[in-house]
Amino acid sequence: MQKLLIKNIKTLVSVYEQAPLKLSGKEMAVLPCIENAWLAIEEGRIVDFGSMDDFPGITDWKNLEVMDVEGSMVMPCFADSHTHIVYAGNREQEFVDRINGLTYEEIANRGGGILNSANKLRETSEDDLFEQSKQRFFEVIAQGTGAIEIKSGYGLNKESELKMLRVIKRLKNLNLIPVKATFLGAHAIPAEYKGNKQAYIDLLINDWLPAIAEEKLADYIDVFCEKGYFEAAETKQILEAGKKHGLIAKVHAEQLSHSNGIKTAVECGAISVDHLEFCNDKDIEILKNSGTMPTILPGAALFLGLPLPPARKMIDAGLPVAFASDYNPGSSPSGNMKLMMSLACIQYKLNPEEALNAVTINSAAAMHLSQEVGTISPGKCANLIVTKKISSYGFLPYAFGSDLIDKIILNGKVWK
């Protein structure tokens, strides 16, 4: 049996004997820690921890690796519950177009945006797409992500949507970190179906969904609920169809305008509703009576210059909030979850404890993984960040441009 003992940990962060499934409202400001701690891992799982003052000593040295991390903190890896890391090429030119005055919507209306990425992806082979995506997968793991959700939605035809989902499956089969797959065929209306949206929706529901379910390629189904994309009623139709195939709902909602995406997501029992720039007080009331995780994507709001979603107001209203990266080529070309945590503090006024919980336990909950990762708890997967020598966990969001990760441990083994 492979065993790892980490000792002389300056602070062991987010420690629970019995982990909560998620943290809401005032609970988000609580971050249980052990100072001067040790942590024991067996077969890739957390088994025990405590203070160095009460360290029981080592009785069995067989297959034991001991790691002395004096001055470093150990925390659970980030969980990134919303990404689009499977894509081809990039959209650098649109970045420059926006600098020069065009809006995201104007670029999309000219056939750029998501359709631009779809054109590139359709021309890319599955193997090439896998290689490009794997680079980003390794990039975000090195930045501390220890569980991830990845969406399709740049194929927009059956062959290419399946190609994306198979690439996600190949990333999952690397067995490095937990991966959840989301079918996002309803990301945009492909050029071939312009003016004939219902035909596209029918195809997606009656042809693609059964094929995806048959091959077990997706855990979730997502829709971009937005003016010019999919209306609330269409979103509902697609999510209900997904449900019949065992896919749980997630929704891109209220990003560019108020489109009743939150209401629709809650009605469909969505696990999460994401973006929320145009979320209003009524939506906050709707979320209060739901199990749907409001998820903020600060990278997209920053990159597109959108109004800030009311994260602080949500927490003050007693809601849980998760933060994720939305890593994608058009609206958030970064999957750096430490940066997302900094933005949560700097722009959204979460305190460091709330921000840390938002990018670990709550973002894990937004993909049904909070029993597997997201806190330091017995039985959980040992996907951990060992920090460089820092003064406190609050230094992580404070030093927003610094790489403060010393080691990444995946399944109880040093990965980086």
The residues binding ligand NIG (CB under 6 A) are: 113-114, 117, 224, 252, 255, 300, 326, 328-331
Is residue 254 a contact residue for Fe ion (CB under 5 A)?
Answer: no
Q: How far is C-alpha 355 from the geometric centre of its chain's CA atoms?
A: 14
Q: Which stretch binds Fe ion (CB under 5 A): 174-182, 324-332, 362-370, 391-399?
A: 324-332
Phi-psi region of 248 (alpha: psi -120 to 50; beta: other; left: phi over 0): beta
Q: Which one-letter amino acid corresponds to residue 396?
A: L
Is residue 326 a contact residue for Fe ion (CB under 5 A)?
Answer: yes
Query: Which of 332, 357 has the CB closer to ligand NIG?
Result: 332
Query: Which of 10, 275 has the CB closer to ligand NIG?
Result: 275
Give the one entry of ligand NIG, Fe ion, none that residue 113 binds, where binding means its C-beta sits below a cut-off of 5 to 8 angstroms depending on kind.
ligand NIG
Query: Which of 251, 385 has the CB closer to Fe ion?
Result: 251
Give the one entry of ligand NIG, Fe ion, none that residue 224 binds, where binding means its C-beta sits below a cut-off of 5 to 8 angstroms depending on kind.
ligand NIG
Could you tell me which residues come within 8 angstroms of residue 355 by beta carbon, excluding any fewer than 6 positions away? 323, 341, 342, 344, 345, 397
Query: Which of 255, 377 has the CB closer to ligand NIG?
Result: 255
Give how many residues touch Fe ion by CB under 5 A.
Answer: 1
Provide the 3-class DSSP secondary structure of residue 50: strand
Ranked by CB distance to ligand NIG, the top (closest) residue is 330
- Determine phi and psi for 150, rounding to 5 degrees: -130, 135
Of the candidates 278, 329, 383, the one whose C-alpha atom is nearest the C-alpha of residue 4 is 383
Q: Which stretch binds Fe ion (CB under 5 A): 68-76, 141-149, 258-266, 322-330?
A: 322-330
Query: Which of 248, 296 has the CB closer to ligand NIG?
Result: 296
Query: Which of 78, 230 has the CB closer to ligand NIG?
Result: 230
Cα-Cα-Cα-Cα torsion 350, 339, 75, 408, nearest 10 degrees, comes to: 170
Is residue 354 a contact residue for Fe ion (CB under 5 A)?
Answer: no
Q: To the nearest whole angstrom, how small is the minimum distance from the Cβ of residue 256 to Fe ion? A: 12
Q: To the nearest whole angstrom, how small is the minimum distance from the Cβ of residue 130 to Fe ion? A: 21
Burial of 197 (0-12, 13-18, 19+ CB in 10 A): middle
Provide the 3-class DSSP secondary structure of residue 167: helix
Q: Which one-letter amino acid corresponds to residue 333?
A: P
Give the one entry of Fe ion, ligand NIG, none that residue 145 binds, where binding means its C-beta sits below a cut-off of 5 to 8 angstroms depending on kind.
none
Query: Which of 31, 321 has the CB closer to ligand NIG?
Result: 321
Q: Residue 199: enclosing H or E segment and its boundaries?
A: helix 197-203
Q: To the nearest whole angstrom, how small is the minimum distance from the Cβ of residue 248 to Fe ion? A: 17
Cα-Cα-Cα-Cα torsion 191, 195, 111, 86, nearest 10 degrees, comes to: -50
Footprint on this chain of Fe ion (rule: CB under 5 A) = 326
